């Protein structure tokens, strides 16, 4: 897909090493009806802003930072706030070929099964985001993953990791993951760095 005439914003993204739920996350998780009304409206508002908008950048970067921090502490209720209920998750091809995961997990329960798979294979990982790329209808998150597995004797594994999030009404409708930044960038039509 060509990126001609598409505004692209690339900025660094960092997360805190230790985090806990913010006040708004606590409220949205505690009151699901509030989340069901609030999150889609805010997401649609953000979706209407161009990628170069300072307000969009502030809101998208804050949301992604919060999501990554929640992922690192395995707070799936917070991670799922920004995802469409019908979101499809596609783990890295290499993990599927190795028989660790299915090719696709659908919906919130599917995502919970995917994350349970991390525990099933004895893997404990942390994502350290390095860059977020906003293409308007998609986001690309480039990260470094630090993981260890009890199946590997606790040996650390550090590698690149990337996620491409397709957006629908401002929320992730599909997430495709890669273990190679170049492959993720190619998938959205961007040149390697």
Model pLDDT for residues 64-78, shown as the tens digit of each residue: 999 999 999 999 999
Report the C-alpha gap between 24 and 134 in whole angstroms. 23
Band of pLDDT at residue 39, cut at 50, 70 and 90: very high
Q: What is the pLDDT of residue 95?
A: 86
Q: What is the mean pLDDT of residues 82-111?
A: 93
Tell me which of 59 and 7 has the higher pLDDT.
59
Model confidence pLDDT, tens digit, residues 51-61: 999 999 999 99
Segment among 8-22, 25-39, 101-115, 146-160 with least mean pLDDT? 146-160
Whether the predicted pLDDT of 131 surpasses 90: yes
Instruction: Decide if 193 is inside a domain.
Output: no
Q: What is the mean pLDDT of residues 158-173?
A: 92
Q: Confirm if 105 and 89 have CB atoms less than 8 A apart.
A: yes
Domains: count for the chain? 1
Sign of CA dihedral 60, 105, 72, 12: negative
Instruction: Decide if 3 is inside a domain.
Output: no
Angle between helices 32-48 and 54-72 (to 10 degrees): 140
Angle at 119 between CA 113 and CA 120, to 5 degrees: 80
Q: Are strands 123-134 and 105-106 parallel, antiparallel or unpaired?
A: unpaired
Instruction: Decide if 157 is inside a domain.
Output: yes
Whether the predicted pLDDT of 104 surpasses 60: yes
Range of the structural domain that residue 69 is part of: 10-187
Instruction: Decide if 180 is inside a domain.
Output: yes
Instruction: Decide if 62 is inside a domain.
Output: yes
* pTM for the predicted model, two decimal places: 0.89
Q: What is the mean pLDDT of residues 87-114?
A: 93
Whether the predicted pLDDT of 96 surpasses 70: yes
Give the residues across from 10 on adjacent strands.
133
The domain that contains 54 carries what CATH number? 3.10.450.50
Instruction: Decide if 2 is inside a domain.
Output: no
Percent of the chain with pLDDT over 70: 88
Instruction: Decide if 128 is inside a domain.
Output: yes
Instruction: Decide if 192 is inside a domain.
Output: no
Q: Are strands 83-90 and 9-12 parallel, antiparallel or unpaired?
A: unpaired
| Range list of H helices, 49-165 | 54-72, 76-79, 93-97, 107-120
Band of pLDDT at residue 120, cut at 50, 70 and 90: low
């Amino acid at each position: 897909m060509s990126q001609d005439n598409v505004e692209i914003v690339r900025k660094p993204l960092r997360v805190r090493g230790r985090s806990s739920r913010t006040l708004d996350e606590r409220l949205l998780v505690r009151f699901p009806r509030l989340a069901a009304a609030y999150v889609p409206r805010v997401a649609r508002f953000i979706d209407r802003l161009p990628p170069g908008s300072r307000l969009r950048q502030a809101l998208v970067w804050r949301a992604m930072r919060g999501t990554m921090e929640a992922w690192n502490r395995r707070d799936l209720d917070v991670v799922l706030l920004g995802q469409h209920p019908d979101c499809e998750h596609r783990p890295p091809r290499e993990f599927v070929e190795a028989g660790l995961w299915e090719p696709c997990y659908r919906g919130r329960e599917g995502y919970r099964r995917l994350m349970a798979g991390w525990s099933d294979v004895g893997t404990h990982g942390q994502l350290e985001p390095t860059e977020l790329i906003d293409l308007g209808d998609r986001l690309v998150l480039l990260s470094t993953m630090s993981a260890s597995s009890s199946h590997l004797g606790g040996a650390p594994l550090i590698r690149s990791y990337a996620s491409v999030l397709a957006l629908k009404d401002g929320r992730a409708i599909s997430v495709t993951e890669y273990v190679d930044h170049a492959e993720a960038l190619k998938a959205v039509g961007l040149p390697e760095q």
